[in-house]
């Protein structure tokens, strides 16, 4: 960390996590689960030495260059993923997995962000970014950064990960490296299972250049007719349903395209195969649906999904060894610019390394961790399964996934509601869920038993559109009331509401979360959720669901901040209050944990808070357009990023509140799309123990004594994984896992 940033923390008086280490995290979980009383004083923090009432001083104008470019910031995030793949301290198969994640992330970045930039340029609606650059300049920077990262990515695979896997008996080979017996075995596999599904497509005056589907692997093949001596070009698509790496013999794998390339003579009988080169095209796969002019959103989206298959290309990947004439042909026929051609050592498409990372070699992975049932749910006395409704009548339950089991908390909550004869109605939002979702099954069971079930399915959830359309129809067929949200807005909030008859009254049980109702990703996405029987939260969710399903225009809620109407304004108001608290000599601080922070209004408010002397800590996983540590602008702002075995996904907003902390959690990141174009919801956490636990979590994640990346004022991220003596710094995720294991081991 820079000296300037370090000096700016002198006024931020909190107990140092370096003193207590893992105990801080253990205390976080103890408070989260038991509802204990916090006594460390974290919620009442002095504003700093010499703080006291004083007249506000006029603040200087904010500089024009106060924002970082969001596209470069995203690429910097993916570079942090790449650093984990390059890190020798990362378990070997996890390094292979991070290589796969990096490749998949970059694919999506080109499909959406680069495609969007190109579309705006092509339609002549491109404007300067907040950094003052025109989109053409941003594109040029993207190509340069992406090219450098892809080169590093290929080198990490070829020079370190693959050789080290070989030392562990897992061999990732090319065709010439195989033994004769292995080649014979794969030839048999080719004839039986691969050859029948291959379709070579010739390119000549009678056969135009074929359409190349996005992200497919392809072979550009040059053959010669021995009778005429003429050369011909053909394309062979690698069938996408085939395994990316084929097992030649136990623990010895070869890319599927190598097997096809070795047997091209079988496809071009009577022709002489002169050359073959692997290539891959990335296309614009973002969706554009004009909702205001669409009578049936479901049908319009289905039509748009068909169109997406034929989006224009935005990137061409080729192996370094490609023949210049073949490359010229591909560039010409695909109508792609030379700057968009990326030549790297093979094999292409390392997203397929996920299958290698999934091999059953536990000694080459992170130590296994299985989430346990949250104690407040497990302790409820019942003749069979825990009675979640009884637990919530006793206290709110703050969940922290994946450390707390999703299946025995949120999933069990909905399954119990579906089976309970006293439950009258269930209302639910679904943004993403799994292919065999028990959540969907529970909702269908509830509808089958006569309960009123309302499900808001966001069919515009990017890259999950097909799946969500499928679930929407399945739910409708089961008798659920299915709606698709509001025109022009994606519904991204994570909400469940259960209405239950209890004696003469109706009681509402609620869940507000930061992550999707997706049982599979809940095992490796870090998320928070609040289960509660609080009447105000239940009333708020009733009002919000009425707005989502009907014509209610309510904007004011009791314990919710809801986008696009009140969320940004609510956060800005609370940031402003911290400035007032600081000037009055009361405890004041701001801590935020989000996936991305881009919104200029919020960033400017944080700059003003920093200028006033309010300490600000930001824990961000991905994009950050804020410049920390700039003298006179953001001296009191620190930005940290934590990456590890779990995907940090929760969103938390905490404020000093003049001595009585105020903490919110929910679905919203600080981006324009979240605050202006989505239905998002944050819930205020009122339990003092839960507030303290969340503040401790934020403190630990941003502490200098925790392993993380630190953002500099120039936009560069520096990894801090060791202390001054070279000892590894603890990772927040591992500390949380260890705290949970110790609790189970002692039965404490």
Active-site residue numbers? 492
Sheet (strand 245-249) strand order: 171-172, 252-255, 245-249
CA distances from 148 to 102, 103, 151, 461, 498 (A): 13, 13, 5, 31, 51
Query: Is the separation of the CB atoms in 411 and 385 below 8 Å?
Result: no
Tell whether residue 157 is among the known ligand binding residues: no
Query: Tokens 């050592």 identify what position?
Result: 345
Query: Tokens 């309960």 identify what position?
Result: 451
* Residue 336: partners with Cβ closer than 8 Å, 6 or more residues away: 313, 315, 316, 330
Query: Tokens 């000093």 identify what position?
Result: 656
Q: Is the dihedral of CA 482, 486, 492, 496 positive or negative?
A: negative
Label residues 361-386 b or e (16+ Cβ within 10 Å = b).
Answer: beebbbeebebbebbbbeebeeeeeb
Q: How many CB atoms lie within 10 A of CB 524?
A: 13
Rounded to whole angstroms, the Cα distance separating 213 from 221 reads 17
User: At 482, which helix (H) or strand (E)?
Assistant: strand 481-483
Find residue 455's DSSP bridge partners.
Answer: 428, 482
Tell whether residue 332 is among the known ligand binding residues: no
Query: Is the separation of the CB atoms in 459 and 484 below 8 Å?
Result: yes
Query: Is the separation of the CB atoms in 641 and 80 below 8 Å?
Result: yes
Tell whether residue 235 is among the known ligand binding residues: no
The interaxial angle of helices 135-155 and 115-122, nearest 10 deg, is 150
Find residue 641's DSSP bridge partners.
Answer: 709
Tell me, letter by letter, the H, E, C secondary structure of 231-292. Answer: EEEEEEECCCCCCCEEEEECCEEEEHHHHHHCCHHHCCCCCEEEEEEEEEEEECCCCCCCHH
Helix, strand and coil in the chain, % to nearest 5: 40, 20, 40
Rounded to whole angstroms, the Cα distance separating 216 from 263 reads 19
Q: Is the dihedral of CA 726, 731, 736, 738 positive or negative?
A: negative
Query: Tokens 């009333």 identify what position?
Result: 539
* Residue 81: partners with Cβ closer than 8 Å, 6 or more residues away: 98, 101, 102, 105, 643
Pairing assessment for the beta strands 397-401 and 616-620 based on DSSP bridges: unpaired
What spatial distance separates the first Cα and last Cα of the chain, rounded to whole Å?
Answer: 37
What region, left, alpha or beta, does residue 323 occupy, with left being phi > 0 and alpha being psi -120 to 50 degrees?
Answer: beta
> To 10 degrees, the CA torsion angle through 673, 675, 678, 681?
140
Pairing assessment for the beta strands 505-513 and 525-532 based on DSSP bridges: antiparallel
Find residue 651's DSSP bridge partners.
Answer: 666
The DSSP secondary-structure symbol of 347 reads P
Rounded to the nearest 5 degrees, what angle is found at the Cα of 688, between the Cα atoms of 687 and 694? 90
Rounded to whole angstroms, the Cα distance separating 101 from 360 reads 19
Tell whether residue 591 is among the known ligand binding residues: no
User: At 720, which helix (H) or strand (E)?
Assistant: strand 717-720
Tell whether residue 113 is among the known ligand binding residues: no
Tell whether residue 280 is among the known ligand binding residues: no
Rounded to whole angstroms, the Cα distance separating 639 from 662 reads 20
Annotated binding site for ATP: 105, 525, 621, 649
Annotated binding site for Mg(2+): 432, 462
Annotated binding site: 105, 432, 462, 525, 621, 649
């Amino acid at each position: 960390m820079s000296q300037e940033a370090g000096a700016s923390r002198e006024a931020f008086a909190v107990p140092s996590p370096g003193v207590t280490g893992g105990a801080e995290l253990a205390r976080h979980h103890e408070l989260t689960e038991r509802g204990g009383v916090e006594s460390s004083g974290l919620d009442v923090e002095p504003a700093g030495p010499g703080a006291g009432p004083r007249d506000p001083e006029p603040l200087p104008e904010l500089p024009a260059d106060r924002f970082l470019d969001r596209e470069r910031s995203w690429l910097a995030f993916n570079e942090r993923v790449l650093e984990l793949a390059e890190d020798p301290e990362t378990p070997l198969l996890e390094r292979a997995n991070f290589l796969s994640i990096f490749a998949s992330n970059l694919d999506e970045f080109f499909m959406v962000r680069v495609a969007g930039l190109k579309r705006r340029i092509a339609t002549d609606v491109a404007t300067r970014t907040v950094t003052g650059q025109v989109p053409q300049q941003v594109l040029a920077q993207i190509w340069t950064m992406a090219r450098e990262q892809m080169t590093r990515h290929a080198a990490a695979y070829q020079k370190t990960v693959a050789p080290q896997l070989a030392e562990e008996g897992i061999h990732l080979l090319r065709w010439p490296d195989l033994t004769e017996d292995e080649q014979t075995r794969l030839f048999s596999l080719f004839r039986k299972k691969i050859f029948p599904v291959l379709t070579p497509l010739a390119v000549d005056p009678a056969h135009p250049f074929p359409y190349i589907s996005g992200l497919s692997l392809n072979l550009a093949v040059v053959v010669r007719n021995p009778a005429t001596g003429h050369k011909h070009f053909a394309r062979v698509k690698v069938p996408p349903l085939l395994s990316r790496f084929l097992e030649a013999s136990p623990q010895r794998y070869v890319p599927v395209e190598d097997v096809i390339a070795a047997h091209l003579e079988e496809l071009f009988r009577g022709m002489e195969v002169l050359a073959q080169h692997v290539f891959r095209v990335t296309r614009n796969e973002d969706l554009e649906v004009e909702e205001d002019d669409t009578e049936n959103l479901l049908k319009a989206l289905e039509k748009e999904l068909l169109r997406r298959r034929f989006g224009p290309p935005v990137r061409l990947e080729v192996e370094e060894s490609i023949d210049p004439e073949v490359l010229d042909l591909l560039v010409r026929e695909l109508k792609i610019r030379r700057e968009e051609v990326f030549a790297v050592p093979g094999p292409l498409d390392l997203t397929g390394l996920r299958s290698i990372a999934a091999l059953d070699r536990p000694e080459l992975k992170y130590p296994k961790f299985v989430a346990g049932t949250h104690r407040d749910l497990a302790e409820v006395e019942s003749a069979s399964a825990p009675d979640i409704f009884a637990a919530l009548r006793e206290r709110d339950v703050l969940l922290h996934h994946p450390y707390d089991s999703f299946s025995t908390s949120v999933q069990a909550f909905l399954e119990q509601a579906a089976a309970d004869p006293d439950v009258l109605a269930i209302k639910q939002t679904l943004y993403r869920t799994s292919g065999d979702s028990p959540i969907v099954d529970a909702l269908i069971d509830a509808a089958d038993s006569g309960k009123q079930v309302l499900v808001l399915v966001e069919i515009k959830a990017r890259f999950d559109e097909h799946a969500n359309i499928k679930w929407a129809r399945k739910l409708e067929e089961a008798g659920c009331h299915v709606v698709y949200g509001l025109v022009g807005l994606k519904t991204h909030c994570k909400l469940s509401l259960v209405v239950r008859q209890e004696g003469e009254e109706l009681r509402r049980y609620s869940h507000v979360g930061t992550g999707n109702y997706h049982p599979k990703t809940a095992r490796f996405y870090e998320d928070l959720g609040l289960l509660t029987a609080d009447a105000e939260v239940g009333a708020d969710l009733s009002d919000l669901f009425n707005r989502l399903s009907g014509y209610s225009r309510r904007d004011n809620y009791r314990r919710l901040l809801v986008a696009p109407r009140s969320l940004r304004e609510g956060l800005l108001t609370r940031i402003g209050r911290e400035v007032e608290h600081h000037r009055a000599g009361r405890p004041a601080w701001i801590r935020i944990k989000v996936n991305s922070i881009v919104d200029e209004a919020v960033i400017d408010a944080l700059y003003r808070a920093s200028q006033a002397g309010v300490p600000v800590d930001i824990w961000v996983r991905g994009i950050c357009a804020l410049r920390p540590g700039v003298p006179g602008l953001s001296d009191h702002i620190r930005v940290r990023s934590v990456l590890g075995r779990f995907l940090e996904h929760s969103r938390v907003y905490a404020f000093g509140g003049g001595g009585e902390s105020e903490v919110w959690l929910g679905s919203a990141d600080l981006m324009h799309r979240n605050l202006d174009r989505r239905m998002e919801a944050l819930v205020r956490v009122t339990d003092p123990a839960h507030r303290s636990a969340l503040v401790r979590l934020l403190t630990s994640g941003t502490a200098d004594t925790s392993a993380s990346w630190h953002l500099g004022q120039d936009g560069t991220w520096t990894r801090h994984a060791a202390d001054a003596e070279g000892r590894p710094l603890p990772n927040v995720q591992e500390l949380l896992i260890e705290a949970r294991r110790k609790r189970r081991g002692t039965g404490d």
